[in-house]
Amino acid sequence: MISLFLDTSYHNMVIAIFKGKKQLYFLEDKNEHDLSIKLLPQIKKAMEELHLYVTDIEKIFVVNGPGSFTGIRIGLTVAKTIAWALNIPLITISELELLATTKTNEKYVASIIDARRDAIYAGLYSSDLKMIIEDTYILREEFLNKIKEYEQETTFVSFDEFSSLKIEKPQLRLNKIVEKYIDEIGLPVHTIVPNYLKKTEAEEKRDDSIIQGN
């Protein structure tokens, strides 16, 4: 089975091709403003390098957040379009779970993404990717209090810097995700939505104006 893996929601654009559980292709590139025009050509180029056609794809794994709202939308739109056109399963993956694939000698991995204004997107996973604390949008200090009982056995991973935390840069191991979800059936494409974990800025401003209007 040929699978396509896409991640455009956070630090870098990641494209990978798998045959079963074996990784055949991997590309990691900067997640920049030209993402919308380079993602599809890069997927096409990846398939061509492997002498495969897009129609050979039988399953898609896509990271649907949290992270950059724009990046999430672009990656998810491309993944949904291909999955719908080929009538194949689409499996959504949390960016925080993907970060937690980083190899560690500790028992737990805390995945963190800077959400600005002292807030973070965060989740706590065991080293074998069992969710210990559900992915959430939360104040940084509140999250640290929440995981206090696990802290001594936890590796913190992020592409962002935090002065109060010892952070390790993620080393993504996509095979761990594929192995975990390879037998998943997936959801109907039209039901899959971004996993922002928080309201968009426009929604927040709208809600504030409603509250002030009341």
String of DSSP letters for 187-213: --GGG-----SS--HHHHHHHHHHHHH
Say what the pLDDT of residue 203 is: 52
Q: What SS3 class is residue 169? A: coil
Domain residue spans of the chain: 2-94+173-198, 96-168
Identical fold for domains 2-94+173-198 and 96-168, yes or no, is: yes
Q: Which two tokens stand for residue 92?
A: 């959504």
pTM of the model: 0.91
Fold of 2-94+173-198: Nucleotidyltransferase; domain 5 (3.30.420)
Class in CATH terms, 96-168: alpha beta
Q: Which helix (H) or strand (E) holds 95?
A: helix 95-99
Q: Report d(CA 164, CA 204) in Å as an integer.
A: 28
Q: How many residues does the chain have?
A: 214
What tens digit of pLDDT does each residue of 95-149 get?
999 999 999 999 999 999 999 999 999 999 999 999 999 999 999 999 999 999 9
